Structure 1
Amino acid sequence: MLDNFVFSLSVALPIFLIMLSGFILKKRNIIRQDFINAANFIVFYIALPLKLFNSVSQSAVVENFNFKFVSFAIVGTAISVVIIYFYSKLFVKEDTKVGAFIHGTFRGNFVYVGFSLIENVTGVIGPLASLVVAFVVPIYNILAVLVLVLTNPDNKAKNQFRNSLKNIISNPFIIAIVLGVLASLMKFKFPPLLQNTANYFDVLATPLALLTIGATFKVDKLFVDIKSAVAATIFKLLINPAIAVLAAFTLGFGNSEIFLIYILFGVPTSISSAIITAAMGGDENLAASIVMMTTLGSVFSLTFFVFIFRAIGIV
């Protein structure tokens, strides 16, 4: 049991030590906003897209495509939004906060935190995790627009849907995965010089992403509308992944798939949820509070779930 606990800590804790480093460096004014902006640009437009391209292009896409798993990810995400809507009725009394609550509770930081956890456990991202991004990221955006429009009648749905579609098409992650699929099918390979360069960016992506997450952490946001934020955190980090994992067991998924399903549904809330919520007229304070609280709480939830998975032989 001690070995399992040590393994769990060694997998989950480094992710948050890097985040903590970013937070401390920002507090000490070593990292400044200009650096954060530049780092986010590098991660979003260069490093992570290259990481996704590498993962997909170097795998046999057709052989590795798992329709059952991808369908579970899409349908499960949609169902979770419906469950969260009814769950919100217990804790959110103001209609203006419902959209922020739902969005913050279903949208996980799968690419940044999830990829880090997968790499720590398995050593590689794997083609299935990369392909899930191609389907889940668009679903996140579509559901976000639906939730925030339907819970805030002042929004103009037509414009929001148009912007959402544009964001999906132009998303660097989606473009990288599509190009990776084409490269895999055509058996395209970079020349060694370019591949080695891409590999450096691949290695850079995860730590730089985690560093910038920590640098943007604002402690004061933890205590904004704390009751709703705690309720969202409990559902996001414990209830939602537990339901998803139990469903995956029932449907007969394998160990690696179950672990990936846990990560998809159990990682902390993505920072983009707060950004999108604010842009669409939702309650930005509650959205930010959920991001901060789930990020902090996931230090314990990820360690706990990895420990359980290790004890029963899933990882």
Structure 2
Amino acid sequence: MLSASAFPDLFLTALSVSVPTFGWVVLGMVLRRAGVLSPGFIDAVSRIAFNVGLPLMLFISAAGIDFSGLGGATYLLAGAIATVITLAASWAYGRWRNFPRPALGVFVQAAFRSNLAIIGFALCHAAYGEQGLMLAALPVALMTALYNVLAVWVLQVTHGGSRSLLGIVRGIIVNPLLIGIFAGVCVAVSGLPLPAVSADIGWGLSQFFLPVMLACIGGAMRLNIVYTAGAVTWEATAWRLCVAPVLGMLVAVAMGIDGAQLGVLFLLLSSPVAAASFVMVVAARGDGTLAANIIVLTTLLSIVTVTLGFAALVLAGLAAVPV
């Protein structure tokens, strides 16, 4: 454990991880307000990045994974366990608070579902470089699939309606991010070498698509939510940014995870609510406004919670110091 006097330096180091990531979100907000980013442009770029850019980047990162150096799959299992625990705990809390059933579904999904594929992935890259991307690739794949399954179940139970198991499985199988990661893992397991230029391509993609996606997230945000958010919005924000990461770290530490793996797991689990949660709520004919408000508020406040939490983990000697 480092001394408390080292906290200011570690805080600045943690800021060097969060500011470059969330700075692009702020820039997107400014450009949208200035009329530079139009809704049509944001939608088009987001679709290109989601269907092409990010899958390619995840493929190259996953293809470079050295499975012998991962120290087993413990940190992957910890992320999955933490997600299920967060779902169960937030459900119990929402029932205790007597949230209306539709609001309960939105609240629970927000509590356990982080934006790990974009903001979380960008944070891992900012903290640990190429090692961060490699360590994050498998958790992103596993937890994205888990998020989709759990979200469908939660929204079915709280909003009614039906969706077949086949439909859920198909939605997971055709997810471009999962396809990219799965293909990369197959290459890594097969032992087939990628051309040396692939690392440069992966780096170039990360330098382009991650900032673009972050700026698009900022461009789609509306700040008036800060003044109009209700109790459910604020409580869901507290669960996503504070309670869920704490539960995740308790599980991870109890399972003996530390170093860069713990740092990556924290950055993934502490990210704001995923934009996909809004899409799923609207598809279930739920309260889309509530879902959107939670996304905006968690994104705005996560720069503070992520920075403080990451600095505290490094100070305690649990997470590796950023490179």
TM-score of the alignment, normalized to the shorter chain, above 0.5: yes
Instruction: Pick the aligned partner of 1:22 from 21, 24, 28.
Output: 28
Partner of 2:277: 273
Structure 1 counterpart of 2:53, one-letter code:
A
Could you report, residue by residue, the CA deviation over 1:1-20 in whole angstroms, capped at 9, with x for unpaired residues?
32122212222122221101
Question: How much has 1:189 moved relative to structure 2?
Answer: 4.0
> How far apart are 1:302 and its partner, in Å?
0.8
Alignment of structure 1 residues 10-89 onto 2, 5 Å? 10-61=16-67, 64=70, 66-89=72-95
> What amino acid does structure 1 have at the position aligned with 2:140?
V
Relative to structure 1, is the Cα distance of residues 9 and 62 closer, same or farther in structure 2, using a 3 angstrom cutoff? Answer: closer
Is contact 2:79-2:248 (8 Å) kept? Answer: no
Contact 1:92–1:228 (8 Å) recurs in 2: no
Superposition pairs for residues 1-315 of structure 1, below 5 Å? Answer: 1-61=7-67, 64=70, 66-124=72-130, 125-153=132-160, 155-158=161-164, 161-191=165-195, 196-223=200-227, 225-313=229-317, 314=319, 315=321
Q: Which 10-residue stretch deviates more, 232-241 or 177-186?
A: 177-186
Stretches of structure 2 that go unaligned for 5 or more consecutive residues are 1-6
Query: Residues 113, 194 of structure 1: CA spacing in aligned structure 2 closer, same or farther, 3 A cutoff?
Result: closer
The answer (yes or no) to whether the contact 1:222–1:290 under 8 Å persists in 2 is: no
Separation in 1, partners of 2:42, 2:115: 18
1:145-200 deviation per Cα after TM superposition (whole angstroms, max 9, x unaligned): 100001122x1233xx4332221100111111111112123333444667655542
**Which amino acid in the other structure matches residue 249 of structure 2?**
V
CA separation of 1:128 and 1:144: change in aligned 2, threshold 3 A? same
CA positional deviation for 1:142: 0.4
CA distance in 2, matches of 1:204, 1:72: 31
Identity %: 26
Identify the range of structure 1 (242-251 vs 28-37) with the bigger mean alpha-carbon deviation.
242-251
- Give the match's secondary structure for 1:29: coil
SS class of match (2:59): helix
- Contact 2:21 2:123 (8 Å CA) reproduced: yes
Given that 2:75 and 2:262 are in contact with CA atoms closer than 8 Å, whether structure 1 keeps it comes out as: no
Query: For residues 65 and 203 of structure 1, do their structure 2 counterparts lie closer, same or farther at Cα, with a shift above 3 Å needed?
Result: farther
Matches of 2:243 and 2:11, distance apart in 1:
22
Runs (4+) of structure 1 moved beyond 6 Å? none
Q: Distance in 2 between matches of 1:151 and 1:227?
A: 19
Look up the equivalent residue of 2:10 and give its one-letter code: N
How far the C-alpha of 1:113 sits from its partner, in A, is: 1.0
Residue 226 of structure 1: how far off its partner (Å): 1.6
Instruction: Provide the aligned length of Structure 1 versus Structure 2.
Output: 312
Larger deviation: 59-68 or 191-200? Answer: 191-200
Q: 1:224 to 1:273 in 2, by over 3 A?
A: farther
RMSD: 2.0
Q: Deviations over 1:90-134 (max 9, x none)?
A: 445322211111111110001111112112211223433101122
